[in-house]
Amino acid sequence: MTAGTSRLTWAQLRDLNCAELEGAADGWGKASNRADAGRDRIEKQLLNGLRETQQGAAADAAVGRLRQLGRNLQYVYTECGLVRTALNSLAHEMKAQQRALRDALDDAAALRFTVHADGSVTYPEAGEGLVDGKPLAGGTASVGTAPGMLPPAGLVAPNPNTAKAQDIADRVAKAVRTAAEVDWRFARILRKLKAEEGLTVPDRTWTDAAGDAAAVRAAARGYLKSGIPYEAGPAARREWWAGLTDEQREEYLAVYPDLIGNLDGIPALIRDTANRDNLQLLIGKLEGQDGDRAETQLAGLREIDRQLQAGRQPPMYLLGIGDEGNGRAIVSYGNPDTARNVSAYVPGLNTSLDADFAKNDLKRALDTAKGASKYDHSSASIVWLGYDAPQSPDGFGSLDVMGDDRALKGGSAFHQFMSGISATNENDDPHVTAIGHSYGSRTVGAATQHGGGIPGVDDIVLVGSPGVGVDRAEELGVGQDHVFVGAAENDVVTKLPSKQQSAAGAAGWAAAGPAGAYLLGEIADQGDDDLWFGKDPASAAFGARRFPVSEGPRLIGGHGVSIDAHSQYFDPQRDAMSADSIALIAAGRGDKVKIEESR
């Protein structure tokens, strides 16, 4: 059947048994669930058991085969889930047209009209003529006609049944025509939901799966998506998810893993499940694209996928993933819903979804998680790339990093995310820490300026900060004794001159690069404690608690210009004092942190 050439009749639409479609959908749902259960057993039992008990070439080969089997089952889960939702969506839309048809047929029966097989409607005589007073003749209405109507100049009134019959004929035709379009739309989708033969699922198959998911979403239209509470707060979203049936949750996860996985207020385990599936779909999607952006993001996605498959400890939870803007990725080491201590780190300048982020920024969160677990094993550490951080090839020559816009937008998103963490954590009073590095500290500062501060946050850590947008620690909403600052002596970012000090103009220091910016700061500061985004967080005037950190490599040394002092705060090998202080604060032991004098 093709659109516009339907042979569907109203009798076939009336008699269509949508329960059979829903029964078939249930069968595909069971197949999807079995595949998911198999994948789960492989990832959480078999692979972990092999890694812990076996070593050698044979064990490595077995791990490789199990990973491939798990990948295959993930594909089966995804595709079967799409078939299930396509069939349920088809039944949903067909039922709507059956209701419209039934209403029209009921109206015809009540009026004693006859609906013929071709959809025309015969109506009896009625009314009375203006001249002779006799009943006006009946007739037959069909689509696109107005039978029984005479020119306006005539002296005969129309049969009052004429318009009623025409309305019924049009409603019957519309229901049949719409049902035929629905049938045609879903037939195309279902024909495409098939896999190539073989026992492996290559990347090109996931590329097809990404297209399949997009097609099912377009075909399903309002069946599921309209029910997602985008405008509600995280607590309401949590309640919405809890109130769904198992079948409804399964369909949302199958068709909208990107929406559910990135929806603040949804439990971490659910977000992780959704985002792991969406990760594969994104890899498949970007595999089919050209250009530097796709290649860069694909490298980041692959590295995150590799780490997820490695089964490292603490366990990884993928709380967000996406390819919008410079890319999105939110990873937690430890479950933030069950941990008593949760920290969330916001990266800054030049951070994007790429291989460097997946290796280095994830490691910062991992190092913090491991360090915090030494003081309290119930700890989770998150790296949050939920905004477009400024990008600058030389590190500083960017108008974006000089402005507040990205921090303000990012701060709003971070505030919403932390509200979700607060809503889903199962402890009565969890300890929560917000950590901002570089421009990320400005983003954290922006998040604090929303009503009531950052939801649930007890402590704030600022490292390598060019300022946070306020001039006093007490303005961050947690009390100045709960704001901690780390500023390396050789970290150029913590020496950027204020906007007022840069009388030569922003373009001047931006063009000068990191060395010029540093020297400008050294010359212009002269006892002034203002930085680019307000008061220096490490200054006495700001009023935060400054913990000791390594000086870091000098900006200009034997190997040329280096800004490494800006990037080692979290590293227990390169700056043990700083990393341990961050871990103590994240574990709720901020009172044990050693404090040094402010600048």
Q: For residue 353, how many other CB atoms are within 10 A of its CB? A: 27
Quick one: residue 198, left, alpha or beta (phi over 0 = left, psi -120 to 50 = alpha)? left
pLDDT at residue 437 greater than cutoff 90 = yes
Residue 447 has, within 13 A of its CA and on its CB side, a CA count of 30
Query: Of all residues in the chain, what percent carry a pLDDT higher than 70?
Result: 85
| CA–CA gap between residue 48 and residue 37 (Å, rounded) | 16
Report pLDDT for 4.
Answer: 45
Cis upstream peptide for 314 (omega within 30°):
yes
Report pLDDT for 85.
Answer: 85
The reported pTM is: 0.78
Q: How confident is the model at residue 140 (pLDDT cuts 50, 70, 90)?
A: very high
More confident call, 481 vs 194: 481
pLDDT at residue 450 greater than cutoff 60 = yes
Structure tokens of 12? 């076939």
pLDDT digits (tens, 9 = 90+) for 206-239: 777 777 878 887 777 667 777 899 999 999 999 9
pLDDT digits (tens, 9 = 90+) for 549-574: 998 888 765 565 667 889 999 999 99
Q: Edge-to-edge, what's the strand order for the sheet holding 459-463?
A: 316-322, 328-333, 379-385, 341-346, 431-437, 459-463, 483-486, 545-546
Among 492, 476, 495, 471, residue whose Cα is nearest residue 434: 476
